[in-house]
């Protein structure tokens, strides 16, 4: 498992934890229950590998706050 120090950690309203490693890193980790999801920031976007419905819902919540959109691999937009 990848281990890295996190400069920012916050607990979400749903009890999940969002951790950002800022020094030389473009990776964040979201932990909730027994899941760990890696978020990779590059080229002005955030990539999430193999998201399930719960992760897509969370991504849409984040996108609303950022004025962004959630878009799939086939360029579909999640509203």
pLDDT tens by residue, 50-62: 888 888 888 888 8
Do 22 and 8 meet the contact criterion of CB atoms below 8 Å apart?
A: yes
Distances 15 to 10, 32, 58, 68 between C-alpha atoms, Å: 10, 7, 12, 24
DSSP string, 15-50: S-EEEEE-TT--EEEEEETTEEEEEEEETTEEEESS
- To which H or E segment does residue 63 belong? helix 53-66
User: pTM for the whole thing?
Assistant: 0.58
Residue 77 has phi, psi (to 5 degrees) of -100, 130
pLDDT tens by residue, 29-42: 777 777 888 878 77
């Amino acid at each position: 498992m990848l281990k890295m120090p996190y400069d920012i950690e916050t607990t979400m309203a749903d009890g999940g934890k969002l951790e950002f490693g800022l020094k030389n890193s473009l990776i964040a980790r979201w932990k909730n229950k027994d899941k760990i999801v890696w978020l990779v920031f590059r080229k002005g976007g955030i990539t999430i590998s193999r998201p399930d419905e719960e992760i897509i819902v969370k991504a849409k919540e984040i996108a609303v706050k950022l004025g962004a959109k959630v878009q799939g691999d086939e360029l579909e937009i999640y509203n």
